[in-house]
Amino acid sequence: MPDRPPVFDDREDAVLTEVVDALVESERALAELEAARVAQFAAAMRVALRRSEHRPRAVQEREMALRSIAAEIGVALRWNDRTVQRRLGEALQLVDDFPATLQALSEGRISARHAAAIRDVGTELVDPTVRAAFEGRVIVRAASDTVAGTRAFARALVEELHPTSVTERFEQAERQRRVWIDDDVDGMARLGVIDGTAKIRAMYDRLTQQARAIRAVARPETATDDSDPDAVRDRRTIDQVRADLLCDLMLTGAPTIDPTIDTLPGGLGAIRAHVSVVVPALTAAGASDRGASIDGLSPIDAGTARRLLAGSPAWDRLVTHPITGSVLAVDRYRPSPALQRFVRARDMHCRFPGCRQPARRCDLDHNRDHARGGPTARCNLACLCKRHHTLKTETPWVAHQLPDGSIEWTSPLGRRASNRPGRYVAFVPEPDPPPF
């Protein structure tokens, strides 16, 4: 006898209907707000462009006005200023090159993600007439399709309308190949790469074949055949095996073509990965499992931290304040300039609000310029990445360091933002003082 279909309460259907209707209305309202924000970002971008017209001809000099405005907005919104700068450019592009898309967004017919997909894909069409034709057709599709479906339709339409062949475009696109990293949670991170489709798919296929070969030798843990009691069982999924293989290949292998073999001892294969690891003393001793991190940014598990500590050729001992966690002193068995060690250990990353560039990639900046009498002392030095070091030097942004290492930033519009040095102590101390 076939199962009867479940019977749902009409009252629940009514609730769901109200929920769906409310979500549709919320999506429409959010689209209207996003269109207004795009217009505001575009207006700020126009100000930056006008100010840049009066700058010297060097590219870096002309970009200072844009960087300063992006930093002003970033501090006000608590955004990273690089993100703001990217949004400024995207907003002006949407306003100038995709007016019909912005109109559809302001009317709530498409979402902000649909608009971004239309802009990203349609950028390849330079001719305004062709781009307008593309825009009109994709907006109709976006009004009734998902973002993924809209993007796929837009890409196919670009191939139809584009004046140059995909071969010619690939030659230019290939110059944009790159690798980047994004921090995740729970001690994890993502490594991304953009390159030619053939190479990327070939890499994935090879990893998959290698992973399957490993699983064919080491049977999965779920196997039920117990005829071979000595068989090795592998608890990993195929995705986990692929990830492990990629890490092994990158960290232990050497490039096939090595132009440095005659100039670099050991060639590229001799280069080893380098990270800066912070391990609290209790974690290093095995009495705790908290507080370890890489570059002061990415938490890592205690086991990995202890292995890195044990195999490290050199390490710094940091003495921190028991309450605030700020660095009080630095000691090292293999000395390097003490002041540099102190500042980098205290700051952990670039000290501009919102920037997380690791200290080892930053310049040591005199908050008060050395040429104007600023001392080369820890109370006047801070880590700034190239971008924000240049911003401070070339624009009216002012940094004033307080005795505790905090930096008071003042923007060209007079807005103030405080950036405190990072904490190595991430727990609330006991009320009783330590017995030493």
Domain termination site, one of 270, 297, 332: 270
Q: pLDDT tens for residues 326-343?
A: 676 665 544 356 788 888
Residues 116 and 260 reside in one and the same domain: no
Enclosing domain of residue 351: 314-419
- % of the chain with per-residue pLDDT over 70: 81
| Residue whose entry in the numeric block shows the structure tokens 């000595």 | 230
Residue 53 lies in a domain: yes
- Res 422 pLDDT > 90: no
Alpha-carbon gap, residue 158 to 133, rounded angstroms: 11
**Structure tokens that stand for 371 in this block:** 């040429």
Burial class of residue 312, CB neighbours in 10 A (0-12, 13-18, 19+): exposed
In the chain, the amino acid numbered 378 is: R
Residues 54 and 128 reside in one and the same domain: yes
Residues 318 and 376 reside in one and the same domain: yes
Terminal C-alpha separation, the chain: 78
164-189: average pLDDT? 83
Tell me phi and psi for residue 192, to 5 degrees: -115, 155
Enumerate the β-bridge partners of residue 365: 382
Higher per-residue confidence, 288 vs 328? 288
- Amino acid 128: pLDDT: 95
> CB of 316 within 8 A of CB of 310?
no
Alpha-carbon gap, residue 318 to 227, rounded angstroms: 56
Residue 281 lies in a domain: no
Residues 249 and 370 reside in one and the same domain: no
In the chain, the amino acid numbered 373 is: G
- Amino acid 334: pLDDT: 45
Residues 322 and 389 reside in one and the same domain: yes
- Top mean pLDDT of 207-221, 317-331, 419-433 is at 207-221
Q: Which of 306, 331, 328 is nearest to 317 (CA)?
A: 331
Helix (H/G/I), strand (E/B), else coil: 160? helix
Taking CA atoms, 88 is separated from 42, 72, 236, 395, in Å, by 6, 12, 44, 19
Helix (H) or strand (E) holding 369: none
Residues 411 and 338 reside in one and the same domain: yes
Alpha-carbon gap, residue 412 to 398, rounded angstroms: 8
Residues 158 and 203 reside in one and the same domain: no
Residue 298 lies in a domain: no
In the chain, the amino acid numbered 196 is: G
Residue 376 lies in a domain: yes
Q: pLDDT tens for residues 76-128?
A: 999 999 999 999 999 999 999 999 999 999 999 999 999 999 999 999 899 99
**Structure tokens that stand for 82 in this block:** 């690089």
* Pairing outcome for strands 219-220 and 189-194: unpaired
Residue 45 lies in a domain: yes
- Contacting residues for 337 by C-beta, under 8 A, at least 6 apart: none
Domain count, the chain: 3
Alpha-carbon gap, residue 301 to 186, rounded angstroms: 8
Residues 218 and 155 reside in one and the same domain: no
Q: Which of 294, 296, 317 is nearest to 304 (CA)?
A: 294
Give the chain's largest Cα–Cα span.
92
Residues 63 and 104 reside in one and the same domain: yes
> pTM (2 decimals)?
0.69
Range of lowest pLDDT (65-79, 193-207, 210-224, 290-304): 210-224
- % of the chain with per-residue pLDDT over 90: 41
Residues 150 and 196 reside in one and the same domain: no
137-157: average pLDDT? 92
Residue 432 lies in a domain: no
Taking CA atoms, 38 is separated from 32, 63, 99, in Å, by 10, 21, 11
- Amino acid 333: pLDDT: 41
Residues 106 and 148 reside in one and the same domain: yes
| Residue whose entry in the numeric block shows the structure tokens 């003042």 | 410
**Structure tokens that stand for 54 in this block:** 């009066």
Residue 277 lies in a domain: no
Alpha-carbon gap, residue 266 to 262, rounded angstroms: 9
Residues 341 and 375 reside in one and the same domain: yes
Helix (H) or strand (E) holding 68: helix 59-77
Residue 105 lies in a domain: yes
- Top mean pLDDT of 1-5, 301-305, 389-393 is at 389-393
